[in-house]
Amino acid sequence: MPSLSRGRTTIPLGDPAGNRLVPDADPATLSAVLIREIDPPKEDEAIEWYLLTSLPVRSVSDAEQVLDNT
């Protein structure tokens, strides 16, 4: 298994002006998990991708659970 680096952040979705199609609805938030291969084989380029999810990702453990369920 390759060595991987992980990062995470949240992305609020919605109109920056605060307009909502459903006035009383909470704005949606996505979590982004960045996965980056560390020290790939010499003949290969490192793999890097973002995974967007509606699940909350507050820790490395949460990010690993999201990755395990994909």
Convert the chain into a string of H (helix), E (strand) and C (coil). CCEEEEEEEEEECCCCCCCCCCCCCCCCEEEEEEEEEECCCCCCCCCEEEEEECCCCCCHHHHHHHHHCC
Query: Is 52 a member of any domain?
Result: yes
Range of the domain at 51: 3-13+28-68
Number of independent structural domains in the chain: 1
Average of pLDDT values for 40-59? 87
The whole-angstrom separation of Cα 36 and Cα 30 is: 19
Average of pLDDT values for 2-27? 63
Say yes or no to pLDDT of 38 above 50.
Answer: yes
Task: Give the residues across from 52 on adjacent strands.
Answer: 32
Query: Is 58 a member of any domain?
Result: yes
Query: Is 34 a member of any domain?
Result: yes
Query: Is 18 a member of any domain?
Result: no
Average pLDDT, the chain: 76
Query: Is 60 a member of any domain?
Result: yes
Say yes or no to pLDDT of 24 above 80.
Answer: no
Query: Is 22 a member of any domain?
Result: no
